[in-house]
Amino acid sequence: MTKAKALKKKEEKPYDYDVIIIGTGPGGEGAAMELSKKHKNVAIIERYKDVGGGCTHWGTIPSKALRQSVSRLTEYNASPLFRGHDKAKSLTCAEILSHASEVIRKQVQLRSGFYDRNRVTVITGNASFIDSNTIEIVKDDASIEKITAEKIVIATGSYPYRPDNINFSHPRVYDSDTILSLKHEPRSIIIYGAGVIGSEYASIFRGLGVKVDLINTRDRLLSFLDDEISDALSYHLWNNGVVIRHGEQIERVETSDKSVVVHLESGKKMRADCLLFANGRTGNTKDLNLTHAGLKADGRGQLKVNNQYQTKIENIYAVGDVIGYPSLASAAYDQGRLAASAMIDHQSNAKLIADIPTGIYTIPEISSVGKTEQELTAAKIPYEVGRAQFKHLARAQIANSLVGSLKILFHRETKEILGIHCFGENAAEIIHIGQAIMQQTNGGNTIEYFVNTTFNYPTMAEAFRVAALNGLNRLF
């Protein structure tokens, strides 16, 4: 081939793909689907044999499937309908985890179909940068493939933080990924870290009848929540027998064949059948050879991006947990879509909604959207509160889901909805009704909507009407 012909060929097809995406979690999937719909030639790389990322295999999906099973078990044992007719039911961790495995299988099948139908090339292997346009993929058989693209998206997610002084290879020491491969039936567990993951697993294990010690490194549980909701969770865990220790730091961990002993800096020590370390996560960037692309992650393995999810290297984007806040699967998918739009149209101003809902799958659930009472008070915004207790709702009485409440915060003068906070069964579903009204503009976002509309009866959604009337009755 002559030099002229070689140059011509290079000009015709300078890259193998328009975009390469690293990671098939929600962020990578969102970007891939949006780009493929816009007729871009896309390759997506996954280091594991199945697509879905940590969200599908170790995080959101399996832990929520586990929680659902435990919640239904608790509901069955507490129901007056079955009381006296049968002895209390119990399930082993293995039995419950088998249900989670089936959910994972269905999710993988579904998501694999998305890539097939949209003609996205899926490549299995470990990806790393050679330069800002070239990716090296090391496959399971040790073979190496190199591919190039005009643009690259990093959507590698995160993994549990593991301090060096704790032996995570010990069979009684787990993190939030490995806990789902629990092989024995613990009668007691110590959970270090009372964030979202730690609080969720405290609920799950207590629901299974396991003795739980929850060690919180801060002064209160989930301090980003509205104080009343945080207090409700603390009380509910305490009332169910969870021992919560606030403001504690781990000093060292002793392990043996039958137990673990956790020594705290305060001098306290606890013994249990196993330890779940759930104190922080780190961006999945250490194996990417970022320096070859001109990038550097921060101390938590995370990358900085602009409002279009573009890193400091113009053709490289990043989405999902690897960029930090809000570290939600739902937000990651939208970030992927928005990054794809920005690649296609550099003038795109699309961005995530300001009020991203939070769903915490404790037992019962917690969900919030908008401002907390503490934030409104600090900002000197005159607000009022409307409340509805679940125990007063006919649907909650029918379902025997009496624990929980809905709280609406609204402006005293304009009646604009400022925040909604829910604690109770199906809170993560219920919150979306309020979120939809909050997003309305041109005066549509007022608490009076809930009074002037007609709800199905009996429903849990009726809590919005009850809370709205309660709040409006406080005005004078």
457 is in an annotated binding site: no
DSSP state of 293: G
46 assigned to a ligand binding site: yes
**111 has binding-site annotation:** no
For residue 370, give both structure tokens.
């908008």
The span from the CA of 35 to the CA of 114, in Å, is: 13
Query: Based on the number of CB atoms within 10 Å of its own CB, is 116 exposed (0-12), middle (13-18) or buried (19 or more)?
Result: exposed
Amino acid at position 324, single letter? G
For residues 59 and 178, the answer to whether their CB atoms sit within 8 Å is no
| Radius of gyration for the chain, computed over Cα atoms and rounded to the nearest angstrom | 25
- Distance between CA atoms of residues 392 and 401, nearest Å: 10
Please indicate if the annotation marks 50 as binding a ligand. Answer: yes
Q: How far apart are CA 419 and CA 471, in angstroms?
A: 13
Tracing tokens 């069964």 back to the chain, one arrives at 425
Cα dihedral 234, 236, 237, 238 sign: positive
Residue 33 · residue 339 · CB < 8 Å: no
Residue 408 pairs in a beta bridge with 386, 420
Q: How far apart (Å, rounded) are the C-alpha atoms in residues 237 and 320? A: 30
Rounded CA-CA distance 169/154 in Å is: 29
Q: Is 235 annotated as a binding residue?
A: no
Please indicate if the annotation marks 54 as binding a ligand: yes
Say whether 93 counts as a known binding-site residue.
no
49 is in an annotated binding site: yes
Bridge-based pairing state of the strands 274-277 and 173-175: parallel
Consult the annotation and say whether 55 binds a ligand: yes
Between strands 211-215 and 188-192, the pairing is parallel
76 annotated ligand binder: no
Q: φ and ψ at 409, to 5 degrees? A: -105, 130
252 forms bridges with which residues in the sheet?
Answer: 263
Q: Residue 178 contacts by C-beta under 8 Å, 6 or more apart in sequence? A: 168
Binding-site annotation: residue ranges for FAD:
46-55
Binding-site annotation: residue ranges:
46-55
